[in-house]
Amino acid sequence: MKMVKEDLKYVRMREQMVKKQIEARGINDPKVLEAFINVPRHLFVSEALMDQAYSDYPLPIGEQQTISQPYIVAEMTQALQLTENDRVLEIGTGSGYQAAIIAEIAYRVYTIERIHKLLVQARKIFDKLGYHNIVMRLSDGTTGWKEESPFDAIIVTAGAPEIPYNLITQLSMGGRMVIPVGDQYSQELIKIYKDEKGIRQTQMGSCRFVRLIGEQGWKN
Ligand code: SAM
């Protein structure tokens, strides 16, 4: 990320967010904590909501979609066990904040969004902040991004009725995936680990995301 001039007020709010909402709840991967300190979250929301950007809840980003609560972004990022060489697929670009956090840690982020307006908004902010390792695509992410697969990690940031099979096939050996699965009111966050022996799943706790809409998601 390139340095942008920002109000010191937001730098302090961000430090407090990391200390009180992220570290205090057990996120301890130094790379994740550093990414949260670096990414100016307030620039990923509308001007009217900037002062709430570091609060402990999701916020609207237009098109009936949301930027997720900071803690859940941190929890999902940590679960991906990212390294600097990893190529990561994100389904659900939304505001672009989660992609920027991953871009701070990993080699490259491939992010898919189905709503054109959100994609354009996110691209503007990536350009402004100089994230040249984020590649975007407008499509139904439930079918993945076959040409760029396999991925070392996959993160789905919308709630799926079940795990899209295509995404599992696009995960590399040793790959990790995090996805909320359940009905439209509540989901279980599931972590998947794939290796030569097959697929292992662990449950990380309940969460609530907007719906993953698509061929292997909800049908509207
Ligand atoms: N990761 C986002 C962020 O950091 O702001 C938050 C994502 S928001 C909770 C969920 C996003 O998933 C929405 O922008 C929605 O349009 C998108 N979405 C839903 N179904 C999708 C699909 N099949 N393919 C791509 N994006 C999808």
**What confidence score (pLDDT) does residue 4 get?**
76
State what percent of residues in the chain have pLDDT above 70: 100
**What confidence score (pLDDT) does residue 120 get?**
98
93 Cα to the center of ligand 1, angstroms: 5
Answer yes or no: is 186 within a domain: yes
157 CB-contact burial (10 Å; exposed 0-12 / middle 13-18 / buried 19+): buried
Q: What is the pLDDT of residues 84-113, one digit of tens each?
A: 999 999 999 999 999 999 999 999 999 999
> Which residues are CB-contacts of 58 (< 8 A; sequence separation ≥ 6)?
66, 67, 68, 69
**What confidence score (pLDDT) does residue 136 get?**
98
Candidate of 115, 156, 187 to mutate for ligand 1, largest count of ligand atoms within 8 Å of Cβ: 115
Answer yes or no: is 172 within a domain: yes
For residue 167 and ligand 1, the question of a CB distance below 6 A is answered with no
How far are the Cα atoms of 47, 87, 185 from residue 180, in angstroms, in the given order? 29, 21, 11
Answer yes or no: is 66 within a domain: yes
Range of the domain at 194: 8-219
For residue 98 and ligand 1, the question of a CB distance below 6 A is answered with yes
Atom 17 in ligand 1: which residue has the minimum CA distance? Answer: 92
**What confidence score (pLDDT) does residue 3 get?**
73
Answer yes or no: is 1 within a domain: no
Answer yes or no: is 3 within a domain: no
Identify the band that residue 179 occupies on the pLDDT scale cut at 50, 70 and 90: very high
218 Cα to the center of ligand 1, angstroms: 13
Taking Cα atoms as reference points, which of 30, 29, 36, 28 lies closest to residue 11? 36
DSSP type of residue 71:
H
**What confidence score (pLDDT) does residue 139 get?**
98
Distance CA 82, CA 19 (A): 21
Answer yes or no: is 170 within a domain: yes
The count of domains in the chain is 1
Answer yes or no: is 104 within a domain: yes
**What confidence score (pLDDT) does residue 116 get?**
98
**What confidence score (pLDDT) does residue 6 get?**
82
Averaged over 184-192, what is the pLDDT?
Answer: 96
Residue 147: pLDDT over 80: yes
CATH number for the domain harbouring residue 158: 3.40.50.150
Residue 176: pLDDT over 90: yes
pTM, entire model: 0.97
Averaged over 41-63, what is the pLDDT?
Answer: 97
Answer yes or no: is 2 within a domain: no
**What confidence score (pLDDT) does residue 190 get?**
98
Distance CA 185, CA 173 (A): 32
Q: Quick check: 22 and 71 in contact, CB under 8 A? A: yes
Q: What is the pLDDT of residues 1-11, one digit of tens each?
A: 777 778 899 99
For residue 216 and ligand 1, the question of a CB distance below 6 A is answered with no
Q: What is the pLDDT of residues 27-45, one digit of tens each?
A: 999 999 999 999 999 999 9
**What confidence score (pLDDT) does residue 219 get?**
92
